[in-house]
Structure 1
Amino acid sequence: MHLSPAGTDALVARLRAAGCVFAEDEARLLAEAAGSAGELDALAGRRVEGEPLEHLLGTVEFCGLRVAVGPGVFVPRQRTAVLVARAVEAARAAPGRRPVAVDLCCGSGAVGLALATAVDLAELHATDVDPAALPWARRNLGPVGGRVHGGDLYDALPGRLRGRVDVLVANAPYVPTGALGLLPPEARLHEPAGALDGGGDGLDVHRRIAAGAPAWLAPGGVLLAEVGEEQAPVLVGVLARAGLRATAAVPEEDGTTVVSGVRGPAAGG
């Protein structure tokens, strides 16, 4: 809906008072999403109470794509574009065939969507243990042929994928339990705890992913995971002990680091 200059100023002031750093941009987006003054007031009220802007708008831009999100699902972070870029590189390097990809802990399916948009995949599968995430993942991945499975990590995957996965992407939770209280309220209060809480050192889920990866990866297949800079050396060791050739990329300015683990070639390969 159209807002007068005075109405815009009032909305910006309301959002700024609530701690919204980009109040001008948020005011514009909320006004565009609202169909009436009453709806705008309700959306603004929910934003002031801390609901993620993306949940209110129903979409988030990620890797140049519009990803559908809403209450109850993790909002993909812009830093995860680095993980996507690494996955695209790995998928394009798959030897002599269209690659098979799996997006573990998929949430809204944003990572799988970006990967499938950039690379011609033979198959894309995505899993999440949270039932609330599955409708969003199916909505986002259905148009690119992705198949979404509900369940705990590899337990959710079709058995026929064992030993056939070229790219295994894991945007798993990696916030240490003790640091959850430091997260912004919109994440801490409005996103699923299971998408954030990675246990004592933040790597509990990653250890389980690493343990199962060799059985699911194709020879030469790669596991890619996003973690914090200080966690990366620990995860490299975890992947190496699981039998993968593990490395960590140079961390980004914010500390986000992509760790990779490659399964060796088959005997005689």
Structure 2
Amino acid sequence: MTMTFAPPNMPDGAFYETDLFIPQYRLATAGNGWRLKAAALSTSVGYWTPARLVRDMIALIRNGDTWMSTAPMELESQEIGIRLAHGHVLIGGMGMGWCALNCALSPRVTRVTVVELDPDILELHRALDLAAQLPDEARAKLNIVQGDAYTYMPDRPVDLLMPDIWLPLMNDGRVEEVRGMQANARAREIYFWGQELEIARHAVAWGHGLDGAGIAATIARMDLPLIGPEMPDYPDKLRAAARQHMRGRWLPGTEAPKGL
């Protein structure tokens, strides 16, 4: 994420807008190097949308690395999972908490379980108490537990698994890591962070196109119950995300398809 002051030649009105709930954050620090940092005005590229001006961006930073933020890329890269969430949602990684809060606000969601390993992040959220900004019925859905997302065994059926525990947007082996979490969660559906990029990488490696049929064939071979592809504009969003963020990180022996 780039947090820089907006250049003067950006067109008027080119601000990023979202209807997702963004809590009010109090700048704070916690434990070994965690801190929340603010940028009053910045520019940021989205996950699938072009660069926009962004007001009051907040980032969770540790040792110079941005782990999560309210940048358009971060919001859009979780948006599909949030909008399709229902029933019991199991989230791997607390981060800044806005994903869990948005899921809890959905009337289709009955419970949100967040698994967070780092005690410093848990302490940070106890101090922030972001759930206090929610209506009572949404706040009551939240269940925060300390644990390892790779080994956590839920005590009730899971309708949607949403892991977001990685620092980079992509890493080799992510699909296998999600399969390991799914072996424990046995969720009916999954939406994991960076999903579109992993689908694109594997589709190209397996000789599939980045259209609806190619995406469906790739997901079938992944053997994961991924959600999102049922949305009519999903192929367009997937291709846009790949154009903006793949940056040559295709699987070994492959390269970007022509026209991407």
Structure with greater proportional helix content: 1
For normalisation by structure 1, the TM-score amounts to: 0.48
TM-score normalised by structure 2 residue count: 0.50
Q: Mark the structure with the bigger radius of gyration.
A: 1
